Amino acid sequence: MSDWLVYFAFFLIGALLSLAILGLVVALVMPFIDRWNKRFFIILFNVLIICMTVYLVEGISYVDPSMLPGLKPVYFLESLFVSIPLPMFTVYLLHCCGENWKRSPLFRATGSLWIIFCILLIITQFTTAIYYFTPDYQFRFGPWYPLLVLPMLLVMILNLAGVIRRRNRLSRKSIYAFLLFLLPLTASLLIQMFVFNFAIADVGITVSAFSMFLMILSAQREQHMRQQQEIISQQASILVLQMRPHFIYNTMMSIYYLCKQDPEKAQNVTLDFTTYLRKNFTAIVSNDTIPFSDELEHTRAYLAVEKAGFEDRLIVEYDTPHILFRVPPLTLQPIVENAVKHGMDPDSDPLMITIRTRKTDSGSEITVEDSGIGFDSSDNNEPHIALANIRQRLEMMCSGKVITMPREGGGTVIKVIIPDAKAPV
């Protein structure tokens, strides 16, 4: 083999080995890949790493003549490991379609063809009819060489037919990923039937596997994001359904007594409480951001109900000139509810809550400031759980964030930052 071919072979081996290692690392560290997919791709890329390592030994053999006598078993191992991903693909396809691969006729057919390939590969060690090496260790085709490649080509064709037949049970991205794996590899096997070059199959299988992995990774990420959004939506629903029973009870009792003492005030509290409940239950079915004005109305209704009970012990100030932006539902109201719940102390001064909004260069900012006692370990993490829920929904729905800091003189300041690009009016 000429020097430039040797250098090119080493470059190709290094590139393919790096690609396989990269795929293995990504499969190991990506948190949103489910267990079955993670295990499958870890095995797949390990097989490809072994294959590239064997191919590296082959390249070294051409540099070190003392290793040339070992070329025949090296070719055997290389061909064996290159073939393993093909029946593995069948298993993956059937898994994605919800079929039991052990009982599938497709797997039985591809598995049988792979066994035939392995038998033929073993035969090559004892005959020159398929391929052989000359005394100076040059590879030569035997008359039956296409017979060795034919089983693997048939496996590819069966897998391609399996994808087409099951296309209605696969997502569009999965179909593209599978075709990206099958078509280039099928072409490389066809070429290899007539032109000897083991690198063609190696390049085809490695690039195809990595391309399929990237497509599957993208589909898994989208599925993970959808699941996270569903979880967040369910958390919001639970938050609504877990309205404090004593808050509802106290409100109803306040309305009951006010009906006799101050009927007009009872009507106002009833209207505010109705608005609060309506906004809470509307949040359950909302899957998108809402105008901040709606969230502010929800918060005003909640605070109006609380003020009816606490009277002068709860002081609220609004400084909200900027309202033309959108937020996830249940963003401001739970923050204010936390401030009342954890900041109100009957033995201290009245609780002061200030709600501000302002337009910034990069977006919009909401500030909730309270003069309460702040959060501590005795809160059993309840306010932190609520804030974590808000923080997660903000990040996923509008790339927003929550900043919590102590207030000078006691209390807490919470800032919600909404970027312009993700929060159109």
Q: How much of the chain, in percent, has pLDDT values that exceed 70?
A: 83
Q: Which residues pair with 262 in a beta bridge?
A: none
Q: Which residues, at least 6 apart from 413, have a Cβ–Cβ distance to it below 8 Å?
A: 367, 368, 369, 404, 405, 406, 407
Answer whether 351's CB lies under 8 Å from 314's CB: yes
pLDDT band, very low/low/confident/very high, at 187 (cuts 50, 70, 90)? confident
Sign of CA dihedral 136, 139, 144, 148: positive
359: left (phi over 0), alpha (psi -120 to 50) or beta: beta
pLDDT band, very low/low/confident/very high, at 73 (cuts 50, 70, 90)? confident
In DSSP notation, 190-230 reads: HHHHHS--HHHHHHHHHHHHHHHHHHHHHHHHHHHHHHHHH
pLDDT band, very low/low/confident/very high, at 94 (cuts 50, 70, 90)? very high
Rounded to the nearest 10 degrees, what angle do helices 71-83 and 105-123 cross at? 180
Buried residues in 381-394 as b, exposed as e (16+ CB within 10 A): eebeebbebbbbbb
* Mean pLDDT value across residues 113-125: 93
Is residue 141 scored above 90 in pLDDT?
Answer: no
What domains lie within the chain, and their CATH numbers? 3-229 (1.20.1070), 243-422 (3.30.565.10)
Which pLDDT score is estimated for 202? 62
Distance CA 425, CA 421 (A): 10
Answer whether 225's CB lies under 8 Å from 396's CB: yes
Q: Which residues pair with 353 in a beta bridge?
A: 316, 370
Between 78-82, 88-92, 291-295, the lowest mean confidence (pLDDT) is in 78-82
Which pLDDT score is estimated for 309? 81
Over the stretch 20-32, which tens digit does the pLDDT of each residue have?
Answer: 888 888 888 877 7
* Mean pLDDT value across residues 401-420: 90
Is residue 199 scored above 60 in pLDDT?
Answer: no
Over the stretch 222-265, which tens digit does the pLDDT of each residue have?
Answer: 776 776 666 666 565 555 555 556 677 778 888 887 888 888 88
